[in-house]
């Protein structure tokens, strides 16, 4: 495994960081939080599209950059570092990459060029329970009706559903198999209920009540293995969450290091106090731990290596180590860390959201233990 980025990958990473940093200073983020009910930095999104970053991981035949999952993660790490309110995770990881991998020619042509151009937002509805783990067999059902399908069920924690042109919805078929459907969130029978999330990220409960879906909306067609598609999406969604968390903790650490280097107490910089320097050093170690485990999982997925163990390890540290970093950031800032006009509080809230997304540390520690036991 080589975690050294190529020159092209470094350029992608730096360009994404520059755009999001320039477009989303702290005062702009505060403005979006207080005035925009969609929590969507459309100007930053449009600039990412203009710079050809939204399609960087999509095939060239749909207008993309021809790279892959690893390059998409380079963008997502910068989204985390700048706590950018853009639906990159939902659109790219939950929507566009699965359509590029499993969609037929018509589905790819219908959805992916719009993603590349920044005109189409996508998402997926994977979760049906409070533990955040996508079920192997969904309780949501798809019943064949008049050459198409009728979907009924409820999905939780669906990001960016209010902006999406289509939601990828896994559903159980009468024969016990699973299929994934491209559902219009504005279709009759679909209702969205906004959730009050810790980070403020727009997420929704999506209720499907006899929603009619054409046969052409089944991802990959009748022969596709929906369970395999869901597993493929879930693995990349978890790894992408970990990479985003790596950006979040790096951003929190950078702000904290700058603060303790400048803030004086008793006529001395805070950074010169032994307890402060030790706490900051511990946060740096944890930040590197999150980063290295996250990129290991992403690299293995991108290179076709069995990444199940690496994903569970990364998600555990995304939960545990990241919380130590953002708690240190809050504590070392003292009272100013609670000020909503100061940026550090966003990193704390994002880190908690990412800790629990698609299962927390405990949920991922259990399968890791099973894998280690089986290997003995």
Residue 376 has pLDDT above 80, yes or no: no
Instruction: For residues 194 and 325, give the distance between their C-alpha atoms in angstroms, rounded to a whole number.
Output: 30
pLDDT in tens, 207-237: 999 999 999 999 999 999 999 999 999 999 9
Among candidate residues 63, 87, 121, the one where a domain is terminated: 121
Mean pLDDT of 276-302: 95
If pLDDT is split at 50, 70 and 90, which confidence band does 2 have? low
| 112/72 same-domain check | yes
pLDDT of residue 195: 95
| Residues 234 and 358 grouped into a single domain | yes
Mean predicted confidence (pLDDT) in 30-41: 95
Q: Cα angle vertex 324, ends 320, 327, to 5°?
A: 130
Mean pLDDT, rounded, of the chain: 94
Nearest to 123, CA basis, from 165, 83, 153: 165
Per-position DSSP letters for 205-266, written without gaps between them: EEEEEEEEE-GGGBTT-TT--HHHHHHHHHHHHHHHHHHHHHHHHHHHHHHHHHHHHH-EET
Task: Judge whether residue 3 has pLDDT over 70.
Answer: no
Instruction: Based on the fold, state whether residues 254 and 219 are members of the same structural domain.
Output: no
Q: Which of 194, 226, 258 is the last residue of a domain?
A: 226
pLDDT per position as a tens digit, 132-156: 999 999 999 999 998 999 999 999 9
Looking at the structure, do residues 114 and 31 belong to the same domain, yes or no?
Answer: yes
The reported pLDDT for the residue numbered 38 is 95
Q: Is 252 part of a structural domain of the chain?
A: yes
pLDDT band at 129 (very low <50, low <70, confident <90, very high): confident
pLDDT at 1 over 60: no
Answer yes or no: is pLDDT of 57 > 80.
Answer: yes
Q: What is the tens place of the pLDDT at every residue in 168-184? A: 999 999 999 999 999 99
Residue 205 half-sphere exposure, CB side, CA atoms within 13 Å?
Answer: 10
Domain harbouring 271, CATH code: 1.20.140.10
Residue 126 domain-assigned (yes or no): no
Q: How far apart are CA 103 and CA 310, in angstroms?
A: 27
Please tell me the total number of residues recorded for the chain in this structure.
376
Range of the domain at 73: 7-121
Residue 192 sits in a domain of what CATH number? 2.40.110.10
Q: What is the CATH number of the domain that holds 42?
A: 1.10.540.10
Give the whole-number percent of the chain exceeding pLDDT 90.
83
């Amino acid at each position: 495994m080589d975690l050294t980025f190529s020159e092209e990958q470094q350029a992608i990473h730096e360009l994404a960081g520059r755009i999001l940093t320039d477009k989303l200073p702290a005062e702009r983020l505060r403005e979006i939080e207080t005035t925009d009910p969609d929590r969507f930095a459309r100007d930053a999104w449009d600039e990412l599209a203009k710079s050809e970053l939204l399609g960087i991981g999509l095939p060239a035949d749909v207008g993309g950059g021809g790279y892959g999952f690893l390059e998409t993660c380079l963008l997502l790490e910068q989204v985390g570092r700048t706590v950018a309110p853009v639906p990159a995770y939902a659109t790219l990881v939950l929507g566009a990459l699965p359509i590029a991998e499993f969609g037929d020619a018509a589905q790819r042509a219908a959805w992916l060029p719009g993603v590349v151009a920044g005109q189409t937002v996508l998402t997926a509805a994977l979760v049906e329970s409070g533990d955040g783990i996508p079920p192997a067999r969904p309780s949501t059902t798809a019943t064949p009706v008049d050459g198409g399908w009728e979907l009924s069920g409820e999905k939780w924690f669906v990001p960016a559903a209010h902006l999406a042109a289509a939601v990828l919805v896994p559903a159980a078929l009468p024969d016990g198999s699973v299929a994934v459907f491209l559902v219009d969130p504005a279709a009759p029978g679909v209702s969205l209920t906004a959730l009050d999330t810790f980070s403020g990220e727009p997420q929704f409960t999506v209720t499907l009540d006899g929603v009619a879906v054409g046969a052409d909306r089944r991802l990959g067609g009748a022969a596709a293995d929906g369970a395999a598609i869901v597993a493929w999406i879930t693995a990349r969604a978890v790894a992408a969450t970990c990479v985003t968390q790596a950006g979040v903790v790096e951003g929190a650490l950078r702000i904290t290091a700058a603060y303790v280097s400048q803030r004086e107490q008793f006529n001395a910089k805070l950074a010169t106090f032994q307890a402060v320097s030790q706490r900051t050093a511990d946060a740096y170690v944890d930040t590197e731990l999150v980063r290295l485990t996250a990129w290991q999982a992403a690299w293995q997925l991108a290179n076709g290596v069995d990444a199940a163990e690496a994903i569970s390890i990364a998600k555990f540290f995304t939960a545990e180590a990241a919380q130590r970093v953002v708690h240190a950031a809050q504590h070392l800032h003292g009272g100013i860390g609670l000020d909503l006009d100061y940026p550090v509080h966003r990193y704390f809230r994002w880190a908690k959201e990412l800790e629990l997304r698609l299962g927390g540390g405990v949920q991922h520690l259990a399968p890791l233990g099973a894998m280690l036991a089986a290997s003995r």
